[in-house]
Chains A and B, each alone.
Chain A
């Protein structure tokens, strides 16, 4: 693929998409922390991304794609109302996910800065 954006940039883009999905799923878990019968969901982010990179297709992935498995959280406790959301865990996931999202953004910005440098300084 002749492209100014290399595979790393694409992978970082895919990473951002998965982080966004994970963020939205976590938000959904938090909103439903008191809903009887609701099952907490997790996105297996690392697995999903490595599969995407292996397949060589790291294009932006819409939700509902088979590569993203949103499954019931096997580690959650089941309370009286059959709700399996662990609020502390969800808040931790939220914070961790947000930090790593920003890390990926920082890397993309570095890539862009390098590209910009190449464009402005290369012609001199």
Chain B
């Protein structure tokens, strides 16, 4: 247990929120994409967060210290969401099917914007936690001066 534990946890939070931000950017950029390498319309990407116990140093594990109280966050998966494509009638579109419908990704840009703000706020919260750790550690160095 030291300041580095807290800082590593905050860093994991920042990484996770940044990956989420990338997924959101990708969703907004591809709101009208009808072709993908996998075939079909673009599918909205969603990141999956999971709480993982903070990794211990070798020495601490050797000393039998088990600690499940401090969890870092990890992106375990970036997967397409379950929503199917949105069919729009547009017979002149090159990707239209026989009936004249085009499969568009079912992405609500407003929803993505809200997610983006949430990711940004969470990132800031992690930055303040990290700065607080740093300030506390710096003042601890000053003991006895």
Contact = CB atoms under 8 A, between A and B. Distances in A.
Interface of A: 16-17, 19-21, 23-28, 30-38, 41, 62-64, 70, 87, 90-91, 94-95, 98, 101-102, 105, 108-109, 112
A106 to B, nearest CB: 9
Given A28-B54, A32-B71, A91-B125, A23 B9 contact: no
B65 A31 contact: no
A64 B68 CA distance: 8
Given A31-B12, A31-B16, A36-B49, A94 B132 contact: yes
B50 A35 contact: yes
Contact of A23 (B71, B118, B133): B133
Main SS at interface, chain B: helix
A41 B20 CA distance: 24
A64 B20 CA distance: 32
B113 interface: no
Contacts of B50: 35
Main SS at interface, chain A: helix
Interface of B: 1-3, 5-7, 9-10, 12-13, 16-17, 20, 49-51, 54, 65-67, 69-73, 118, 121-122, 125-126, 128-130, 132-133, 135-136, 139-140, 142-145
B143 A109 contact: yes
B123 to A, nearest CB: 11
Nearest to B135: A98
A35 B73 contact: yes
B125 A23 contact: no
B68 to A, nearest CB: 8
B76 to A, nearest CB: 10
B142 A109 contact: yes
A33 B122 contact: yes
Nearest to A61: B1
